[in-house]
Amino acid sequence: MNEIKNKWLELIIVLSAPLLSVIDVFIINIAIPSIKTGVHATDAEVQLVIAGYLLGYAAFLITGGRAGDHFGRKKVFFWGMFAFTIASCLCGLSMTPFQLNLTRFLQGLSASFMVPQTIAFIQILFTDKKKERKRWAYSESLWGSQLL
């Protein structure tokens, strides 16, 4: 029974990565007016804030998956989540558009190291019958994050 609880807890923790990653893509759109006034950003700089995250994510997504294969999924997931948290805090502390763009890029880069590990963890944690339901939970976490 304890093993089942641990697997579900691990699944919840692992599913937090794609949830946070997708939320960060969409939540920035709500914060645009505050960003423009808070850091005195131009329209072009605000667009770069949005694109910088996705650029960092897309540019390193394959590298993040390979890093999990090479260095270990748990280690890469942990350091990706740690870097994502630090980058998120630095985004909140940014005083200039350049700082915000740099930290958003770092946020996307760190997300690219934690998100690929999620599906690999699901494959490892659960048997064949249960994998399909867990993949469904993965896609639901992505869908649910868009609603938030």
Domain chopping of the chain, boundaries: 17-147
pTM: 0.83
Q: Provide the mean pLDDT of the chain.
A: 85
Amino acid 145: pLDDT: 55
Contact 27, 145 (CB under 8 A): no
If you search the block for the tokens 């605000």, which residue do you land on?
46
Is domain 17-147 given the CATH code 1.20.1250.20 in the classification? Answer: yes
Per-residue pLDDT reduced to its tens digit, 107-146 = 999 999 999 998 888 777 776 665 566 556 666 665 555 5
Within 10 angstroms of residue 97's Cβ, the number of other Cβ atoms is 20
Report how far residue 98's alpha carbon sits from residue 84's, in angstroms, rounded to the nearest whole number: 18
* C-alpha to C-alpha distance for 122 and 137, rounded to whole angstroms: 10
